[in-house]
Amino acid sequence: MSKPQMYSGYHAVAAILRHRPQAVLELFVQDTRAERGEERLDALCGEAERLGVRPQRARRDVLEKHAGPQHQGVVARARPRMPGDEGALLAHLDRLDHDPLLLVLDGVTDPHNLGACLRSADATGVDAVIVPRRHACGLTPTACRSAVGAAESVPYFEIGNLSRVLELLRERGIWVVGTALEQDSQSLFDFRSEGPLALVMGAEGDGMRRSTMEKCDYLLEIPMRGEVESLNVSVATAVVLYQLVRGRG
């Protein structure tokens, strides 16, 4: 079993309590008597107690020692979420009763970017987020805080061989769509996005690996009207997901 970690941020901790209360070993809440935000923390404490987790009041400096200055008044020592594997992913897809929309992140190593991508995935109704087991940052406390709860709500899978899984998705009739600035890339705005889709977003800077790109049925590019040539991977993910969802109705 993985070593417990310190998670901070109101939404991140509230999501762990909502989805995995058994994983919370200790809960520290800032003593904010007569300060703004006390009502929200009181409600969190009440929910924690209902779930069998006893909150401990602590000073701000104690919370900062545990989790740094961005704790928002609450820190939880909890067991990390265990991602699903390839078998769990295929079983998850078998249970869906609609055309899936999947997000594949190829080598996103910045936890802030991963968290933001998870947040966009949750907002757009993505059915699963798939990442490689290596060359990715994983569900770190920083990623979970950046995801503001989406690290618990979105089905999340870590895969050993990403190329193999993309081929399995294609065999299941899922179109694999990647984003890349290639000669044969088409505009995102011209792409017809009906049916089952797996969107592949590449790593910060380098983009998709060549082995991943070769598994894509289509390559898309985001039209850029200014001087910059590309967007941050988390921003690009949000733009493409919302355009695909719009096209799917």
Share of the chain above pLDDT 70, in %: 97
What is the mean predicted confidence (pLDDT) over 190-204? Answer: 91
What is the mean predicted confidence (pLDDT) over 70-81? Answer: 92
Dump pLDDT digits (tens) for 5-20.
Answer: 999 999 999 999 999 9
What is the mean predicted confidence (pLDDT) over 47-69? Answer: 90
Dump pLDDT digits (tens) for 23-43.
Answer: 999 999 987 654 555 788 889
What is residue 33's predicted lDDT score, i.e. its pLDDT? Answer: 54
Residue whose structure tokens are 């009207």:
225
What is the mean predicted confidence (pLDDT) over 61-76? Answer: 87
Give every CB contact of residue 132 below 8 A, 6+ residues apart in sequence: 106, 107, 158, 159, 160, 162
Tell which wins on pLDDT, 169 or 226.
Answer: 169
On whether the CB atoms of residues 139 and 156 are closer than 8 A, the answer is yes
Full set of structural domains in the chain with CATH: 5-78 (3.30.1330.30), 86-248 (3.40.1280.10)
The confidence band for 139, taking pLDDT boundaries of 50, 70 and 90, is very high
CA dist 22 → 25, 26, 237 (Å): 8, 11, 32
State yes or no: pLDDT of 181 exceeds 90.
no
- Give dist(CA 113, CA 101) in Å, integer: 20
What is residue 36's predicted lDDT score, i.e. its pLDDT? Answer: 54
Q: Phi-psi category of 195—alpha, beta or left, where left has phi over 0 and alpha has psi -120 to 50?
A: left
What is residue 34's predicted lDDT score, i.e. its pLDDT? Answer: 46
State yes or no: pLDDT of 217 exceeds 90.
yes
What is the mean predicted confidence (pLDDT) over 219-227? Answer: 90
What is residue 37's predicted lDDT score, i.e. its pLDDT? Answer: 56
On whether the CB atoms of residues 194 and 248 are closer than 8 A, the answer is yes
Q: What is the mean pLDDT of the chain?
A: 91
DSSP state of 135: S
